[in-house]
Amino acid sequence: MALCGDSTGSTGNEEKWLGDTGSQIHATGNVRMRVRNQKVLNNEPVKGCSGKIINATTSGNVTVKTEDGVMCELNDIRIVPGLV
């Protein structure tokens, strides 16, 4: 099952999210993303679809508004600098 939605970052710009219930984590490369319950991570390794491993520096929660206007909470997302 997939979820498509938007959240607003600290710059006021919308961030697009594609959630997949089969994934282990949800992540963004936006280091200025506004997250709640922010936790600093000690360079936690994250393996991407290509098999490349990059490090997450922060985790937290974001609220995403779906295309249908439903507000959905994504918990324990990872901020991974350099993630495209």
pTM: 0.73
* DSSP conformational letter for 14: E
Q: Among the listed ranges 18-22, 66-70, 76-80, which one has the minimum average pLDDT value?
A: 18-22
Closest listed residue to residue 57, CA positions, set 20, 29, 17: 29
- The pLDDT-based confidence of 66 (bands split at 50, 70, 90) is confident
Helical (H) or strand (E) element with 8 = strand 2-8
Percentage of the chain lying above the pLDDT 90 cut: 24
